Structure 1
Amino acid sequence: MKILSIGTMSGLSNTCLHRHWALEKISDEIDVVNTRIKPISIWFRIAYRLFQYGLPIRLPDNSSANKKIKEFISKAVKSPYDIVWIDKGVTINSKTLRYIRKLSPNAKIVSYSPDNMALRHNQSQNYLNCIPLYDIHFTTKSYILQDMQRLGARKTAFTNKHYEQTFHYPRNLSENEIQRLGGDVGFIGAWEKERCDSILYLAKNGIKVKVFGDKKWNDYKTENLEIAPGIYSEDYSKALQAFKISLCFLRKMNSDTQTSRTMEIPACGGFMLAERTTEHLDLFSENKEAVFFSNDEELLEKCRYYLINEEERKRIVEGGILRCKTSGYSNEESIKRMLKIVVNND
């Protein structure tokens, strides 16, 4: 299977890069186009803001990704790609997809995004123009399939979140790493009001919480709440494991029912305490492979209980690791399933 893989390939903790790694394992011939070689420009930020105001302004392609895609396609006319995989192609233009269709009519053009692409803050005018030109859209949001069809998608398919088995896995942590990265209760992620309120509730009630996140968290420093800068690379995976309890909050602005950490925390050997949703309950057996909460009172109760019940924590951690493996939640297994759908989508 010959694949052209397109997306943001920078940063070791970048999930787009992780999906590319999985494609590399699956494909016997793969080329790559990085859509984020250069930093985001001022004009990019202005164009994005104007688009959010409702203007049909396209985002600039600062990394010349569209040009590079066309170059790869033109060179591969005699041996065309089977799959053109575009990971959240907000800077990819409709002319580029039409060029692919013209020179490689049998290639399957695939759109994948881990975000809610039915919401404007995740979109671009470039992306909206391209929606009808993809053969299939894969989304991790089960509730937007009809929304995507209304936007012009020809075919949509839901896939759960995934983890990267070469990056998210249990490590032998040193005492120094446990002290530096761990704590009683921890969270890694951006500030959002709802999750901040829940964490402040824990801190107010005597639970020590450590947050690795953006600068907005600094406005909420208080007793029992430690704020540290965001962490990436291997420290990210190590921290998920180092916490006695790793919190998994869902992003309200995307109406999430599962998130990347849903898979990453258990896969890393972390104890996951996550918001209770139907999808979470389907993915992990409650109190056997993960623990869930529906409100702040239950969150506090579960933290208090599991902080003093280490053996139960260890048992649930082992159950979560095993579930990730046996249910095929890894990038490689998940993308194999997606590509099977693509190949059979005739």
Structure 2
Amino acid sequence: MKVLSVGTMVGLSNTCLHRHWALEKIADEIYVVNTRSEKTSFFYKIANYLFQKGIPIRLPDDCNANQEIRNIIDQSGKEAFDVLWIDKGITINPDTLAHVRRLSPKTKIVSYSPDNMALKHNQSQNYLKCVPLYDVHFTTKSYILEDLKKLGAVRVEFTTKHYEQTFHYERDLAKEEMDRLGGDVGFIGAWEKERCESILYLVNNGIKVKVYGDGKWNDYKNIENLEIKPGVYSEDYSKALQSFKISLCFLRKMNHDLQTSRTMEIPACGGFMLAERTIEHLELFEEGEEAEYFSSNEELLEKCRYYLINDDKRRSIAKGGKNRCATSGYSNEESIRRMLKIVLNEKV
């Protein structure tokens, strides 16, 4: 299998890069095109702002990814690619995909995104014009299949979130490292009103919480029982998920999430996950055996109090979650193998 992998390839904790690692293991031959520089340009920010305000302006291609794709396709000659895998291609242009289709008509053009691409804040004018040109769209949002079809998608397939087995795994950590990174209750992620209110409810009721996050989280540094630390990346991210006695898993309300990347990453790292209760969470991990859930701040507090003093039960559930990740094939490699079989019309 010959694959051209396109996406954001910067940052060790970047899930797009993790999916590329999985593609590297699966493909016989793979080429890569990076779509994002480490620093977003001024023109990109302006174009995105104008698009969000309703002006149909394309995002600039700061990395010259479109030309790179064209060059690789041009040079491939008769050695056509089986799959062009584009991970959240918001800077990929429709004429680029048309060029691929013209020169390499057998190549399957795939769109994957971990975000809700039916919502404007995740879209771009480039992406919207490309929607009908993809052979398959993979989405982790089960409730937007029809929305993507209304945008012009020919075929839409749902896939769950995944974890990267070479990055999200349980490590042999010294106590000093566990103490440095962990704590009683922890959360890693961006500030949002609802999750902040839940965390404040815990700390106001005597639960010690450590948050790794930047931005507006810094406004809460002087609150009792609450420790705010800078965002954590690289291996420390996975180590922290493992080190907390309880890792909180909040869903992003602006995306209407029913599961999130941490849904898989926390259990895969050997951590105990206490997540918002949704139908998808309940299908992915059995409640009380492989994860725990809450539907209100009162239930969240009750579960935290219980599991902070019931170490054996907490460890048993964490072990069950880790085993479920393996037995249900939630890893990037296994998940992408299934997706590629769908793309190439093979039996799953």
Tell me whether the two structures share a fold, i.e. TM-score over 0.5.
yes
Match of 1:4 in 2: 4
> Structure 1 residues 38, 246: CA separation in 2 closer, same or farther (over 3 Å shift)?
closer
Distance 2:215 2:152 in 1: 38
> 1:215: Cα distance to partner?
2.2
2:188 aligned partner: 188
Count the aligned residue pairs.
Answer: 345
Query: How big is the shift at 1:286?
Result: 0.4
Q: Alignment partner of 1:171: what SS? A: coil
Give secondary structure in 1 for the equivalent of 2:259.
coil
2:227 aligns with: 226
Alpha-carbon displacement from aligned partner over 1:143-194 (angstroms, at most 9, x marks no partner): 0000000000000000000000000000011122111110000000000000
Cα distance change on mapping 1:262 and 1:38 into 2, 3 Å? closer
3-state SS of the aligned residue for 2:228?
strand
Q: Does structure 2 retain, via aligned residues, the 8 Å contact 1:215–1:229?
A: no
RMSD, matched Cα: 0.7
Q: Alpha-carbon deviation of 1:39? A: 1.9
Aligned residue number for residue 286 of structure 1: 287
Contact 1:118 1:144 in 2 (8 A): yes
Report 1:1-346 matches (<5 A): 1-37=1-37, 39-221=39-221, 222-344=223-345
Superposition deviation, residue 24 in structure 1: 0.4
> Matched residues in 2 for 1:124 and 1:205: separation?
43
Do the aligned residues in 2 keep the contact of 1:170 with 1:241 (CA within 8 Å)? yes
Q: Do 2:186 and 2:210's aligned partners in 1 also have CA atoms closer than 8 Å?
A: yes
SS of the residue 1:292 aligns to: strand
Letter aligned with residue 30 of structure 1: I
**What is the rounded CA distance, in whole Å, between the counterparts of 1:330 and 1:308 in structure 2?**
31
Q: Any unmatched runs of 5+ in structure 2?
A: none
Cα deviation code 1:225-258 (max 9, x no counterpart): 0000000000000000000000000000000000
Conserved? CA contact 2:10–2:38, under 8 Å: no
- The sequence identity of aligned pairs, in percent, is 72
CA displacement at 1:270 relative to structure 2: 0.3
Distance 2:16 2:38 in 1: 16
Alpha-carbon separation, structure 1, partners of 2:236 and 2:68: 33
Task: Measure the CA separation in 2 of the matches of 1:43 and 1:316.
Answer: 48
Alignment partners' CA distance in 2, 1:124 and 1:307: 44
List 4+ stretches of structure 1 deviating above 6 A: none
CA distance in 2, matches of 1:71, 1:36: 18
Q: Give the partner amino acid of 1:32.
A: V
Deviation at 1:135, TM superposition (A): 0.3
1:141 and 1:166 map into 2 onto residues whose CA distance is 25
CA contact (8 A) 1:38 1:63 kept: no
In 1, Cα distance between equivalents of 2:69 and 2:205 = 54
- Does the 8 Å CA contact 1:7/1:16 hold for their aligned counterparts? yes
Tell me the TM-score normalised to structure 1 length: 0.99
Displacement of 1:38: 5.1
Moved more, 190-199 or 211-220: 211-220
Give the Cα separation in 2 of the matches to 1:121 and 1:262. Answer: 23
Q: 8 Å contact 1:38–1:62 — kept in the other structure?
A: no
> 1-side partners of 2:336 and 2:60: how far apart?
29
